[in-house]
Structure formats: structure tokens, C-alpha cells
A and B are shown apart, each in its own frame.
Chain A
Amino acid sequence: GDSVTQMEGPVTLSEEAFLTINCTYTATGYPSLFWYVQYPGEGLQLLLKATKADDKGSNKGFEATYRKETTSFHLEKGSVQVSDSAVYFCALSAGSARQLTFGSGTQLTVLP
């Protein structure tokens, strides 16, 4: 079945550090890929998405590139801020399925 494997956390960085959160997937066909973010006390919200190979999703300084050859969708940000502290979830939607399959989430803490 479809699955998403995320880099295990928690991840702790200093402000302005470079961030990478790894995500790889297994799916039939050509899935759409997503990163969702959950800020403390809030619901999950879409951060970015990519629907085909080599697409780059970007938002709020975060980027992720859909790499079909390595079945990956790693999340990156060049300079993190304290306000980026949250849990980040990688997810996919494949084939005729309408629901998303999520990774286990990565807790990011950014220290001032």
C-alpha cells in the first residue's frame, strides 16, 4: 500500500539555520505530494504541494521538489525563524484515492 516515511524528530535548530526534513514515499502510479504544518494548538494547514515530477512547491520561504527518481519530497528552508516551530507532516494522494496518506510528523523547534 501507499506509505510515507519522514525523518524522525524532534529537530532543534537555532534561528537562521538551514532546515531539511526528509520525506520519501511508496505509491502506485504518480501521486500528488504535500507538506502540512501544525502550529501549537492549531489544526493542520497546507504548507505546499506538488502534483507531478520535478514540480517545486514553495510557500513562506519553504520549498520541496518532487523527485520521482528518488521517490522523495524533502522540505527545505534557508533560514528558519522561531515562528516556524511546529510539527511538519509529509503526505501523498495516489491513484483514485481521495484521502491523504501521512507520514508520522517531525517536530521542529527553533531557538532564538
Chain B
Amino acid sequence: GAGVSQSPSNKVTEKGKDVELRCDPISGHTALYWYRQRLGQGLEFLIYFQGNSAPDKSGLPSDRFSAERTGESVSTLTIQRTQQEDSAVYLCASSLAVLSGANVLTFGAGSRLTVL
């Protein structure tokens, strides 16, 4: 697609429920990232996928968080047994794979999660 698409744009859930957030990256972008943005705070790295390589999961805050990506397409971020502190905007980004650290990320508009 023309940009990074995320769904749902807004999700309200009850504490203890599981949620799934979806990201559809730009076609041809082999790298995909998930970030979390809490209210009034910066972006917190969660996980990074690059092609068929093992993902970098170093930013996942707990084992309640997991993410999957099939090939170079859609990714799903799953949060199990949601807690109120999980309330945030979850941002997905994609980029072309580059060798250096100067790759430019294109972000989606985010999925706003509210846990009651």
C-alpha cells in the first residue's frame, strides 16, 4: 500500500482481556517495527522484524506481549491479560532494509489502546 496501515485505530478493552493489533507495512519494506507511546512520553521500542531473520524482541516489556510477522507482510502485536498500564498508542513502522543505521522509518497513525 501507499503507507503503513494500522488497525484498529482505537480499542477499548477490559482489564484481563487479550487484544490484537494489526500492522500492514509498505509493500517492499522488509523491516517492521513496533513502538509504544504512553501519554506525554517518548516512543518505546518493542520489537523489530527484518525479513526472515530472528526478530529483535529486546524491547518487549513482559511475556504478555508477543508479535508475529509472516514473511514481509502483515504483523500482529498481541497483548495477553491486559493491564491498565498497557494503555498507550501502539505505533508500527516499516523501512527498506539498509546496511547502515541511517534507515528511514515510515510510521502508521497508530492504534490507541485503552484498558479500563
Could you tell me if A99 and B102 are in contact, using CB atoms closer than 8 angstroms? no
- Chain B: interface size category: 20 to 34
Is B33 positioned at the interface, with any CB of A under 8 Å from its CB?
yes
A99 with B42, Cβ < 8 A, contacts A44-B107, A93-B102 known: no
Is B21 positioned at the interface, with any CB of A under 8 Å from its CB?
no
Chain B residues with CB under 8 A of A4: 42
Which B residues have a C-beta under 8 Å from some C-beta of A? 3-4, 31, 33, 35, 40-43, 45, 48, 50, 56, 59, 91, 93, 100-110
Could you tell me if B42 and A105 are in contact, using CB atoms closer than 8 angstroms? yes
A87–B2 CA distance with the chains assembled, in angstroms: 23
Q: Can you list 7 A-B contacts with CB-CB less than 8 angstroms, sorted by A residue number?
A: A43-B107, A44-B107, A45-B107, A93-B102, A98-B48, A100-B45, A102-B43
Choose among A45, A51, A93, A99 the residue with the greatest number of B CB atoms under 10 Å from its CB.
A99
* Extra 14 A-B pairs, beta carbons < 8 Å, given A98-B103, A99-B45, A105-B41: A4-B42, A6-B42, A32-B101, A43-B4, A43-B106, A44-B107, A46-B105, A46-B106, A51-B100, A94-B101, A96-B101, A98-B48, A100-B45, A103-B42
Chain B residues with CB under 8 A of A6: 42
| Residue on A nearest B4 in the bound complex, by CB | A43
Chain B residues with CB under 8 A of A85: none
Could you tell me if B102 and A49 are in contact, using CB atoms closer than 8 angstroms? yes
A1–B105 CA distance with the chains assembled, in angstroms: 21
Chain A residues with CB under 8 A of B40: 104
A103–B56 CA distance with the chains assembled, in angstroms: 21
